[in-house]
Amino acid sequence: MQELLNGVANQVPYVIMLGYFLNMYLKRLDRYIEKTDELHDRLLKVEILLKTEIKNMHRRIDDDEDDD
């Protein structure tokens, strides 16, 4: 039993280091996700603006054709 406890005790530093690096990785992943969410939101805004501008251009073209 003592050998088992010593074996487990010897593994504790490795588990702590693994937990530390896993925590660092998860923080980085969270920042990456936040940045991609921001980028996605910005791209959606650009898409909406472009679609609106294209509709306006089509209206102007149609209005010009009607004037002729």
Per-residue pLDDT reduced to its tens digit, 17-52: 999 999 999 999 999 999 999 999 999 999 999 999
This prediction's pTM: 0.61
Pick the more confident residue, 13 or 66: 13
Residue 15 has pLDDT above 70, yes or no: yes
CA distance readout (Å), 24 to 18, 21, 33 = 10, 5, 14
The maximal CA–CA distance of the chain, rounded, in angstroms, is 98
